[in-house]
Every structure is written in structure tokens, then in C-alpha cells.
Structure 1
Amino acid sequence: MAGIKAGKYDEYLVGYQVEADATDLSETEVYLGSDTAQNSFAWLVPLSEGRAVVGMAPRRRANGQMEGFIERLNPMADR
């Protein structure tokens, strides 16, 4: 287990997620990079057949990032 010191921290990430329809997803996926969640990360976790949790924890205010991320996951989605 990692040794993490207890104490006061200056920065926190606030994450949020939604349930969505998903196909062909068998394992958890983690996405890194500034084009995903502004220098942070996002995730896609299968729940059951055809359903998944899509989430992210951006360092700054989200302002449409989740919608953009979901569109990139499924570029053929109806708009």
C-alpha cells in the first residue's frame, strides 16, 4: 500500500459521473491528457450488459467537458 501522509492539502479534485448506454465494453478504461479532462483524468467503467459509468475529475470548471468527452467516445452518436 502506498504511504500517503495525512495532513492538509491545497488542491482537491472534484469528480462527477453519469450512467450511460455502452456497447463492447468489458473492462475499466482510464483516459489521461489535457484534451480529456484539462490535465487530469476520466474513466469509463462497465456496470452491466450495455451500461457503464462515464466520469471525470477536471482540475478546472467542467464547462461542457463531459459532453465533449462522451461525444469523442462515440463519434457516431445522435446529436
Structure 2
Amino acid sequence: MKSDGGSSSYYLIPETAKELMDLIENKRMSFAVGNIFKACYRLGSKSGTSKAYDLRKIIYFAERELAMLGPLAG
């Protein structure tokens, strides 16, 4: 999908989405990507955790997702 710099259809939130899990399921995110999405959304807001904790979690799951793509992924 090409973007002209304005709002694009892939940013629209489905009317049925009431919480993050609805968005994760709608986009058919993998477990790792779903965890990245949740950690990005709550970045530094979850009680008992820091922003650094969430950033490390994002990196951890991103590395797992990249590993699943294999060595030939570009």
C-alpha cells in the first residue's frame, strides 16, 4: 500500500475494536508482534515497570520475530 503522507486506510481502527486485543486479532498479529504492540502502547505506564523494561521487552520480541523470518529475510 502506498501512502501520500496523509492518513492511510491501514491506520483506521475497526469500529468493533474496544481494546488492544481487538486490534491485535483484527491485524492477525503473531504472539511476538502482539506483545510488541502492547508494550509500545503502555510504554512506561504499567505499574511496577519502567520505560526501560518495556523497551527491553520490545527488543526481545522483535529479535524473536526477526529470527522466525530466517537468515535470508531482507
Shorter-chain TM-score: which interval?
under 0.3
| Higher RCO (CA-CA < 8 Å; seq separation 6+) | 1
Give TM-score scaled by structure 1 length.
0.26
Give TM-score scaled by structure 2 length.
0.27
Query: As a proportion of its length, which structure holds more strand?
Result: 1
Query: As a proportion of its length, which structure holds more helix?
Result: 2
